[in-house]
Amino acid sequence: METDFKIKYINIEKDKEMEVSLEKMVGILLNLEMDTNFHIEALKAQAIIIRTNLVKKPMVEGGDFIDIWEDESAEKIIEAVKDTEGLVILFNDKPIDARYHICCGGSTENSENVIDNQIVYLRRVLCDYCKDTTYWRREKDFSLDEMENALKVKFPSMDIGVESEIAGFIEDIERDERGRVLSIKVAGRKISGEELARLLGLNSTRYAIFPTGIKFVTRGKGHGLGFCQYGANKMAQQGYSYFDILKYYYTGVEIRKYLLPCIKKPLYGKTIIIDPGHGGDDKGFEGDSIGLIEKDVVLKLALKLKLLLEELGMKVHLTRNKDENILITDRIEEANKLKADFFVSIHMDYFNCSNQKGCEIFHFRKDYDSQRLGFCILKNLKDKGIPIRGVKEGNFYIFRGVSTSSLLIEIGYLSNPEEEAKFLEDSYMEDLAEGVVKGILEYYQ
């Protein structure tokens, strides 16, 4: 089994951390995530899904678990893990976000309908394989009081004069001037108000109709993205292999062995786009004291970052590697073609007649991965003695165009003479670069 690539496991109940080898953790989670009575090909597919997600984000939180590698009754789980060892689901040579759920109820879902983000490999597919399962149809009844309490709403109060039609059930209520029901349509049949009162034993024909409860009928279980576990089990029973099953539920992916990060190359398999702002005749801000130009300082830092990150195994693309003007639309287009893990734009700030200083990071709204990366970077910059100004939400044009997680880093103020002078010091630029790199490492670790 894999011994170098480790998963950080955080036991929330005991507030303890431990490291577990990748393949061992795949088995532990497979035992928890799928019914062990499922077909072996479905279990293999789920094992590959779990491994893919662990490679993409090697940290797990939970409570105590059973070490299935020492459990003789877990022979089927161990077989599924060993037979798929090292296999990962890839799109554009990167591990996918391998979403899965218990039962789709007839079709999986497009990603943008669930997580507000269009993902090429998470496309809707028809699936009647889960039709005969226990989750195909479920009913749950709620009283109006239960609905009000759960949803924190208040239904309107009802009285005898209120009409309450329910399409297909109770419709076309006709009353006289005193409010007595003359006729009513029930399930498509027109009946007099008097006959309905007699048949149902009502006290009079002056009545209102309103619900006392609501029944929800569900089909399927879960968010509906990606892999349908019960559907996969049925496909396996019909002779499909784990490879066929995964290719069915994830559109346009590859399933193959993936070279994992190691101690010397901990960022192997990760891709980042670094965007030095401005360039060419677009100089950006100019320092008040020394006259440093923003476009030059951010390019110098970007080149240092590229060197350091590539040494750690990361693929690094610069939107510019020399003094040239690249249109923002071209930067966005390049970023969207490359499908990197992160897009990081580097800029500097300026505030006239102010002594403000420090590094500030912005992320797009609800981009929690970038927010977390921003916190990791600022923490490590602070450790280097670099002043920081926090992580904030921003609504920059480039955020709205780039389809991957993105950050904008303002590395300091050219309007502050003391801070401007710092950017002439090689040691300060080295500290900036090392702080950002250590923040990226901490995020992935």
Run of H or E residues at 302: helix 294-311
* Residue 110 placed within a domain: yes
Specify the pTM. Answer: 0.62
| CB contact at 8 A, 315 and 270 | yes
Residues 67 and 118 in one domain: yes
91 domain residue, yes or no: yes
**Same domain, yes or no, for 199 and 310?**
no
- Collapsing DSSP to helix, strand or coil, 361 comes out as strand
Degrees (nearest 5) of the Cα angle 321, 322, 327?
85
The residue whose two tokens read 């309103």 is 210
Question: Is residue 61 located within the same domain as residue 86?
Answer: yes
Domain that includes residue 245, residue range: 6-134+220-257
- Residues 441 and 438: their CA atoms lie apart, in Å, by 5
Distance CA 365, CA 378 (A): 18
Q: What SS3 class is residue 125?
A: coil
**Is 243 in the same domain as 130?**
yes
> Within a domain: residue 295?
yes
**C-alpha closest to that of 54 among 220, 269, 240, 209:** 269
The answer on 250 and 331 residing in a single domain is: no
Q: For residues 196 and 227, state if they share a domain.
A: no
pLDDT of residue 2: 43
| 129 in the same domain as 144 | no
What does the buried/exposed string (b/e) look like for 109-142 if buried means 16 or more CB atoms within 10 Å of the residue's CB? bbbeeebeeebebbbebebebbeebebbeeeeee
> pLDDT in tens for each of the 445 residues of the chain?
444 688 888 888 888 888 888 999 999 999 999 999 999 999 999 999 999 999 988 888 887 777 776 666 688 999 999 999 999 999 988 899 999 999 999 999 999 999 878 899 999 999 999 998 989 998 898 888 888 888 888 877 766 555 667 777 888 889 888 889 899 898 888 999 899 989 989 898 888 887 788 888 899 999 999 999 999 999 999 999 999 999 999 999 999 998 777 777 888 888 999 999 999 999 999 998 999 999 999 999 999 999 999 999 999 999 999 999 999 999 999 888 888 999 999 999 999 877 899 999 999 888 999 999 999 999 999 999 999 999 999 888 888 888 889 999 999 999 999 999 999 999 999 999 999 999 999 998 7
- Residue 1 maps to a domain: no
